């Protein structure tokens, strides 16, 4: 409600400080913490606030800055505006405030009023590393309310009734979204156990290579590729010598390793092979991160990708904080981690693991940071490999081998290179990719529509609150 709007009859305008006691939290004395989990549970920061309280983390014997039962607890630092109603006495730590509402005002009415005041809180917050709301700002927060407690309760009842209907719809949308994801994973599972192309395979049985023939094809392509690498190296060395041996001498390609065929399970068709990623990829390595002063936001010469640009649907999203590096940095310090269209990128630092994206042709060359690995295949169709990396079975396998430190999951290059990959003929790979593209595109479109509806449902909640606190919500 703006200042110019007239208050409904029986309503008054005040501030949060005039109708409540605002208690700002602070960090307790370090000596007051109780390892035996006795005393007052400490609540502080966005991680401790939501629809329910999390498992207890810290206890303190310090009997100051305490909430009372039915106090409103609000996050005032970092994730500003998250709310909860205190169900018992808590110690208010740094990052939260407790609001003890006067007896003539319904706490739940103020709860919903605060939910409707996020714009005010964010606008009046301060700070650089962490945004936070000061005590004076919180106390000056404008509140409009009907003086009748009975009317306050009626409005609360109406809000909760409408929210209940909206939440029911949101629940159905979320269930539908989960079902789409389950269907997506079912498609991927059937794609890489041969079930998706079972009928196609029976129709083309006479033209498909046997396991031995497929292995020969892979070996031949590897040998041809290695021969080309050697020829390119010799040309580069010759050029280096002609230039007076300026700079570092080009490195000779590594010797060609053998194709490592793994024992496959009964799920895979007879004419498929199971091999390691390193056997069917020309290049598997991770990126590098340059100094901060060599990174440029929003514009530049060569796009530099981070994990947040990768997705779980195989597409790259460079609209999120687009970052660039200079060509000089790209060709020198980051030379090893150059990325080209059709390369496959996967995050190796999580959680969550399992973000995979195919590099588009928007730019001729890209680069990546150290939390991303490149797969560049010489035999497997890029989209075939990208979808395999997105399959739940693959993600679980790699996650089970990840090194976990301080809650962070890390995949080594060895794990990435030794990843078992099912391989079929290029003709069947192309067929699998075509079927997946058709069906997964439909999944993505439906998922996008559900996400749009979920957003609209959340906006509908804001519309309910706006109506409630302008006096327009009626029984």
pLDDT digits (tens, 9 = 90+) for 182-226: 999 999 999 999 999 999 999 999 999 999 999 999 999 999 999
| pLDDT above 60: residue 369 | yes
How is residue 181 written in tokens?
Answer: 């994801």
Question: Which contiguous run of DSSP H or E holds residue 40?
Answer: strand 40-43
How is residue 433 written in tokens?
Answer: 């990719």
Chain segment 66-80, per-residue pLDDT in tens: 888 889 999 888 778
pLDDT of residue 29: 78
pLDDT of residue 360: 96
| pLDDT above 90: residue 428 | yes
pLDDT of residue 427: 95
**Number of CB atoms found within 10 A of residue 270's CB:** 10
Question: Comparing C-alpha atoms, which of 259, 252, 257, 250 is closest to residue 230?
Answer: 252
CB 125 within 8 A of CB 90: no
CB 92 within 8 A of CB 67: yes
> How many angstroms separate the CA atoms of 475 and 463, rounded?
16
Q: What percent of the chain has pLDDT over 70?
A: 95
Q: Is the pTM of this model over 0.85?
A: no
pLDDT of residue 5: 61
Chain segment 434-456, per-residue pLDDT in tens: 999 999 999 999 999 999 999 99
CB 67 within 8 A of CB 87: no
Burial class (CB in 10 A: 0-12, 13-18, 19+), 129: exposed
**Number of CB atoms found within 10 A of residue 338's CB:** 17
Mean pLDDT of 284-292: 92
Q: Which of 18-22, 35-39, 176-180 has the lowest mean pLDDT?
A: 35-39
Chain position carrying tokens 């100051």: 64
Buried b (16+ CB within 10 A) or exposed e, 294-328: bbbeeebebbbbbbebbeebbebebeeebbbbbee
pLDDT of residue 323: 96
For each of the domains in the chain, give its residue range(s) and CATH number, in order of start.
11-147 (3.90.220.20), 259-424 (3.90.220.20)
Chain segment 136-170, per-residue pLDDT in tens: 999 999 999 999 999 999 999 999 999 999 999 99
- How big, in percent rounded to 5, are the helix, strand and coil portions of the chain? 40, 20, 40
> How many angstroms separate the CA atoms of 159 and 351, rounded?
37
């Amino acid at each position: 409600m703006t200042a110019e709007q007239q208050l409904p009859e029986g309503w008054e305008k005040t501030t949060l400080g005039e109708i409540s006691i605002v208690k700002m939290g602070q960090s307790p004395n370090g000596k007051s913490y109780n390892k035996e989990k006795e005393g007052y549970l400490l609540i502080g920061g966005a991680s401790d606030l939501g629809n329910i309280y999390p498992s207890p983390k810290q206890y303190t014997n310090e009997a100051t800055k305490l909430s009372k039962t039915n106090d409103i607890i609000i996050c005032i630092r970092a994730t500003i505006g998250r709310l909860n109603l205190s169900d018992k006495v808590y110690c208010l730590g740094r990052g939260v405030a407790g609001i003890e509402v006067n007896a003539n005002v319904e706490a739940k009415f103020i709860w919903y009023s605060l939910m409707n005041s996020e714009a005010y809180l964010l606008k009046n917050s301060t700070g650089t590393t962490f945004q936070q709301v000061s005590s004076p700002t919180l106390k000056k927060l404008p509140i409009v309310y009907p003086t009748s407690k009975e009317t306050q309760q009626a409005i609360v009842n109406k809000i909760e009734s409408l929210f209940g209907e909206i939440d029911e719809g949101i629940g159905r949308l979320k269930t539908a979204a989960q079902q789409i994801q389950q269907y997506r994973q079912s498609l991927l599972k059937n794609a890489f156990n041969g079930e998706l192309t079972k009928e196609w395979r029976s129709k083309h049985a006479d033209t498909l290579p046997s396991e031995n023939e497929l292995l020969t094809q892979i070996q031949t392509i590897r040998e041809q590729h290695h021969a080309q690498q050697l020829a390119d190296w010799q040309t580069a060395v010759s050029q280096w010598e002609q230039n007076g041996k300026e700079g570092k001498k080009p490195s000779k390609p590594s010797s060609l390793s053998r194709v490592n065929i793994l024992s496959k399970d009964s799920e895979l068709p007879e004419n498929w092979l199971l091999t390691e990623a390193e056997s069917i990829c020309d290049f598997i390595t991770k990126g590098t991160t340059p100094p901060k002063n060599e990174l440029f936001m929003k514009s530049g010469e060569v796009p530099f990708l981070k994990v947040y640009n990768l997705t779980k649907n195989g597409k790259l999203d460079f609209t999120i904080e687009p970052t660039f590096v200079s060509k000089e940095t790209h060709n020198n310090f980051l030379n090893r981690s150059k990325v080209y269209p059709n390369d496959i990128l996967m995050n190796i630092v999580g959680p969550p693991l399992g973000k995979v994206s195919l590099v588009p042709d928007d730019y001729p060359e890209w680069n990546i940071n150290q939390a991303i690995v490149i797969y560049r295949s010489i035999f497997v169709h890029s989209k075939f490999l990208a979808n395999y990396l997105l399959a739940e079975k693959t993600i679980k396998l790699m996650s089970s081998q990840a090194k976990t430190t301080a809650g962070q999951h890390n995949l080594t290059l060895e794990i990435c290179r030794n990843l078992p990959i099912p391989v079929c003929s290029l003709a069947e790979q192309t067929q699998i990719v075509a079927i997946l593209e058709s069906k997964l595109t439909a999944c993505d479109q439906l998922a996008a529509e559900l996400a749009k509806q979920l957003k609209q449902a959340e906006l509908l909640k804001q519309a309910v609150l706006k109506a409630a606190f302008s006096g327009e919500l009626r029984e």
